[in-house]
Amino acid sequence: MEILKTLSLFVVTALAEIIGCYLPYLCLKEGKSLWLLFPAVISLALFVWLLTLHPQAAGRVYAAYGGVYICMALMWLWVIDAIRPTITDWIGVGVCMIGVIVIMFGRQLIKPI
């Protein structure tokens, strides 16, 4: 149950970061309104706050979070940018998610002899 809770928190954290970065991208590259920078700042502040809610040490959280971020970025590519990820993208996500689980829960899953 803790694994699901932690992964869910990572997903919400990743969405906050992606939204916070995507909105300025729209302003700079797509010519959208500068008013989008205000929700971007709020989203990035939410991202930083969400990182503090993780129960592990900060370095471990950042390392594992990177894998979840990669997965969410590919989902964003598919859903928002309408570009379907390739099979190698999904294989890479699988490798990253295995890494996330090993980093975050390896000590609990593999007990010392």
**pLDDT tens, 54-92?**
776 677 778 888 888 899 999 999 999 999 999 999 999
For residue 4, is pLDDT > 90?
no
* Higher-pLDDT residue of 44, 4: 44
Q: Where are the domains of the chain?
A: 2-109
In this prediction, residue 106 carries a pLDDT of 80
| pTM of this structure | 0.78
- Measured from the Cβ of residue 23, the count of other Cβ atoms closer than 10 Å reads 22
For residue 93, is pLDDT > 90?
yes
- Burial profile 82-92: b = 16 or more Cβ within 10 angstroms, e = fewer: eeeeeeebeeb
